[in-house]
Amino acid sequence: MTDDERVLVVDDETELANLYTRFLKPEYDVVTATSGEEALERVDEAVDVVLLDRRMPNMSGDEVLARLAERGIDVHIAMLTAVEPERDIVDLPFDEYKTKPVTRDELLALVQVLLDRATYDKHSQEFFSLAVKKATLEAVNEHGTDEYEEVVERLDELREGIDMTLEEVSANRILLEDS
């Protein structure tokens, strides 16, 4: 477990939230919430992944999604629910949708897929930023300078990292689909 990988488990069924916490605890820092309101209180910039039940009393998972989007919280969200998906999911801002029940391995793979995507997002953002810098240096004929070579070297490193991350995301995604 690393300190920067925090998962928020949101489910109104306390026993299920506790079970998911036990599944995840050896690998991640886990926080639980048993209502939509409590989820909104507990989510902050330290949370990387939210596992969100869709059907809860008082505030549904759909409402939680809307509130998180309004607040601009940068978090990867998996709907983890007994509700079979329908066309209404198209407009919901989530990253994965998994129908209960789930096994420990499925839950761990789901969280890993979301964390891998977060890594990919960070690497791709840095990659595009460096690509702009490289193009800018080329436009002013700064080829061959130390700074230019550093940018090119970092771009190559990021390209390799992005390729590896994509392979990991694909492998974990296959695990999710097979289960």
Tens-place pLDDT, residues 85-104: 777 787 888 888 898 999 99
Mean pLDDT of the chain: 86
The span from the CA of 81 to the CA of 102, in Å, is 10
Instruction: Supply 117's token pair.
Output: 């995507």
Closest CA to 89 of 101, 75, 72, 77: 77
Asked, as a colleague might, if the bond just before 93 is cis with ω within 30 of 0, I would say no
AA letter at 34: T
Instruction: Supply 155's token pair.
Output: 């771009």
Residue linked to tokens 């007994």:
82
Cβ neighbors of 166 (< 8 A, separation 6 or more) are: 120
Instruction: Supply 105's token pair.
Output: 């391995």
The reported pLDDT for the residue numbered 70 is 93
**pTM recorded for the entire structure:** 0.73
Statement: residue 157 has pLDDT above 90? no
The reported pLDDT for the residue numbered 175 is 64
The span from the CA of 127 to the CA of 101, in Å, is 38
Closest CA to 10 of 98, 77, 97: 77
Condensed to tens digits (0 to 9), the pLDDT of residues 48-65 reads 999 999 999 999 999 999
What mean pLDDT do residues 56-77 have?
93
